[in-house]
Structure 1
């Protein structure tokens, strides 16, 4: 909505006194469902505005496509297998790094595994939702 308002020449005003409440998903199933819907609607919103999202919104879609295509192609090609596992290792390293960072920041090592799972669920569910949205609009 902000994008459409700005394109129409309006300005966005921020009011410091305004309050917003965010309801965090307290289980992985709800996190999956919420992010699947977010991914779906980022694609479906292109019906209303061609520039409704930025590159960062489609990276989970590209990641899911990479997982699907990379898994299949790595079966048949040693080069694809090396590339697939190299990129997957980088993702794994980054998810470990940021999950550990969260655990250290909160001084609670028990947050490490749940944070890592949350990253994976968030990215994959958002990407699957976007992929489903592509199928719906094609």
Structure 2
């Protein structure tokens, strides 16, 4: 089985250097790497060139069109039986491709996704963000499960693979951002292909390096859920409203503390218990008081940023039906 590893890249030369370094250590070596530079002003051409002796690597530069269409550009040029997509801010364990190859031989999948985790080299904030995006105490707990809240597993594009047959029948991404990976997964499901999780095919996903960047990303994710709804209305489930309800509860708690002390006491206790559960769970997972404390912040940022983005576009595009154009 020959793999084509496809990585879109935009102004992140240091990240691609770290990712490519991990690919040189793969125990399974039947693969090529395609780097799609998506109109970057700070390109990684020389960095990619430095790996030519260690990897079967190909570098392409195209006009900026977004990550989804950059992946399509790679699909069109890939030689593999299977196309594997990574985000540029991932580190790949040395046995990743061997794990995927073995699983696909034993359990046929037309497309797959894998989980993410925090690497020991990550900063405390990156570990806290990773916790928030994977914890059972946040909506991140839905990610990396065999079945998500919608009843189907939807791979995420930081760690995702599709067979050449999928590409030939379904094509690639039809939107380039705002939930492009989930939209693509739904079309693969509808075409009758088998999608599954490979639990042991994890990557170390750096995500964002500050809470400000994390806020912007999760606000974008909240808006993306409404964009997906416009393509597939039946995919909007009750669990997708949880961050919005959590955000409204926080707003209510602030108002209760200002105007109604009776409600304020109950609200404060509920928030404190929830924060304590996150702190304890993160401490046992990360063995660090600092990361546990930051995990509480990261979890609240994740839920409120997603919730506000979700409510913003829900109100504009579904309730008011303004600017409700599908975003490609």
Check whether TM > 0.5: yes
Task: Measure, in 2, the Cα distance between the counterparts of 1:116 and 1:19.
Answer: 24
- Residue in structure 2 matched with residue 62 of structure 1 by the alignment: 245
Equivalent residues of 1:32, 1:122 under 8 A apart? yes
Distance 1:100 1:32, change over 3 A: same
Q: 1:122 aligns with which of 302, 314, 326?
A: 302
Structure with more contact order per residue of length (Cα contacts < 8 Å, sep ≥ 6): 1
Larger radius of gyration: 2
What is the count of residue pairs matched by the alignment?
133
How far does residue 40 in structure 1 lie from its aligned partner after superposition? 1.3
Distance 1:74 1:19, change over 3 A: closer
Equivalent residues of 1:36, 1:128 under 8 A apart? yes
- Residue in structure 1 matched with residue 286 of structure 2 by the alignment: 103
- Residue in structure 1 matched with residue 230 of structure 2 by the alignment: 47
For residue 51 of structure 1, give the secondary structure of its aligned residue in structure 2. Answer: helix
Equivalent residues of 1:103, 1:110 under 8 A apart? no
Task: Measure, in 2, the Cα distance between the counterparts of 1:70 and 1:125.
Answer: 17
Task: Measure, in 2, the Cα distance between the counterparts of 1:114 and 1:134.
Answer: 30
How far does residue 136 in structure 1 lie from its aligned partner after superposition? 1.8
- The structure carrying a bigger strand percent of its residues is 2
Distance 1:66 1:19, change over 3 A: closer
How far does residue 31 in structure 1 lie from its aligned partner after superposition? 0.9
Equivalent residues of 1:42, 1:52 under 8 A apart? no
Task: Measure, in 1, the Cα distance between the counterparts of 2:211 and 2:260.
Answer: 34
Equivalent residues of 1:102, 1:115 under 8 A apart? no
- Residue in structure 1 matched with residue 314 of structure 2 by the alignment: 134
Distance 1:48 1:57, change over 3 A: same
In the superposition, the TM-score normalised over structure 2's length comes to: 0.35
1:54-98 alpha-carbon deviations (Å, 9 max, x no partner): 333221111001111232245443442233223212222222122
- Taking the TM superposition and a 5 Å limit, the aligned residue runs for 1:20-31 are 22-31=205-214
Structure 1's consecutive aligned runs of 4 or more residues displaced over 6 angstroms after TM superposition are 18-21
Task: Measure, in 2, the Cα distance between the counterparts of 1:126 and 1:117.
Answer: 14
- Residue in structure 2 matched with residue 12 of structure 1 by the alignment: 194
Task: Measure, in 1, the Cα distance between the counterparts of 2:227 and 2:252.
Answer: 23
Structure 1 residues not aligned, in runs of 5+: none
